[in-house]
Structure 1
Amino acid sequence: MKPYITKNKKRRIKKKLFLDEFAMLGFELSCETSIVDFDTYDLFVDEFVDFIDAQGLSFGGGGLELFEGFLCCSKRYQSVTEAQKSNVVDWLNAHSKVKSTKTSELIDANYF
C-alpha cells in the first residue's frame, strides 16, 4: 500500500513521488538452479544480464542455488509489461541450469 494519498496531489508531485500514472511496476523473481561453482554462476549471470538488457530491464539480486531478485524497467517512468515478464520466465525455464522459477505479480518498484 502506498503511503501517500494521491487524490489531492498535483501531477508534478505525483511524478516526483512515482505515483499513479508515474508508478514503475516490476516483479520479484526466484529460481532454483543447479549451479554449485562460481565459474558456472558467472557464465549464467552474464547470459542473464545480456538477455534482460536486450529486453530493456534491470535486475538486482543474485545467489547460487537460489537465484532471486527484482526486475524493473531500465527507463524512468516505465513499467515492466506482462510480455517482458513472460519472456524472462520462458528464458529461465529454457536454461539448462534452472530447475524451477517463481515470480510475483507486477508490483510498484518504489513502494513494495
Structure 2
Amino acid sequence: MRCSLAFLRRRLRKKRRLGEFTEFCIEISAKFTPGTTEAEADDLINKFIDYIEAPSLKFGGAHTTDGMASIVDRRGRPYVTDLDRAAVMDWLDSQRIVKTARSQELRNAWYGWSD
C-alpha cells in the first residue's frame, strides 16, 4: 500500500485502516524456563488470557513447553498503546516460569507482515 494518504478520502482511509484509522498490535514472545511441564505452560496461558481479556485486549498465538509467541491487540477503539505493551511485558516478567520476554514496537495490524 504505497499510495499517498492525502489522495484518499476519509471513507477509503477508514475502509483500508490507514492514516488516523490505523490499527496497532503488539508482537510478543516469551521463553519458558527449562523443564516447564505442559500443565504449567497451559496454566500460564490460561492466566495470560484472563489478564489480557480484563482490559478488553485480545490475544492470538501459540505456545509449547519451551515458550510462546503471540499478537495482542484491543477489541475496538482505542487501539493498543505503548502503555498496554508495558503492562503486558510487566505481567509476563512477573511470572515464575517465564525466563525471558520480548516485545516489538507497536506495528500496523493489517499491513507489512511480509517485511
Is TM (by shorter chain) over 0.5?
yes
Alignment partners' CA distance in 2, 1:9 and 1:45: 41
Partner of 2:40: 40
Partner of 2:5: 6
Alignment partners' CA distance in 2, 1:33 and 1:55: 25
Partner of 1:106: 106
**Between the two proteins, what is the percent identity of the paired residues?**
27
Alignment partners' CA distance in 2, 1:97 and 1:74: 28
Kept in 2, the 8 Å contact 1:60–1:70? The answer is: yes
**Structure 2: runs of 5+ lacking an equivalent:** none
Alignment partners' CA distance in 2, 1:96 and 1:55: 23
Q: What's the Cα RMSD here?
A: 1.5
- Corresponding residue SS for 2:79: coil
State the aligned residue count. 110
TM-score, length-scaled by structure 2? 0.87
Alignment partners' CA distance in 1, 2:80 and 2:3: 22
**Structure 1: runs of 5+ lacking an equivalent:** none
Q: Which amino acid in structure 2 is aligned with residue 68 of structure 1?
A: A
Q: Which amino acid in structure 2 is aligned with residue 40 of structure 1?
A: E
Q: Which amino acid in structure 2 is aligned with residue 21 of structure 1?
A: E
Kept in 1, the 8 Å contact 2:36–2:97? The answer is: no
TM-score, length-scaled by structure 1? 0.89
Partner of 2:21: 22
Moved beyond 2 Å, runs of 4+: 2-5, 34-38
Residues 46, 4 of structure 1: CA spacing in aligned structure 2 closer, same or farther, 3 A cutoff? farther
Residues 42, 23 of structure 1: CA spacing in aligned structure 2 closer, same or farther, 3 A cutoff? same
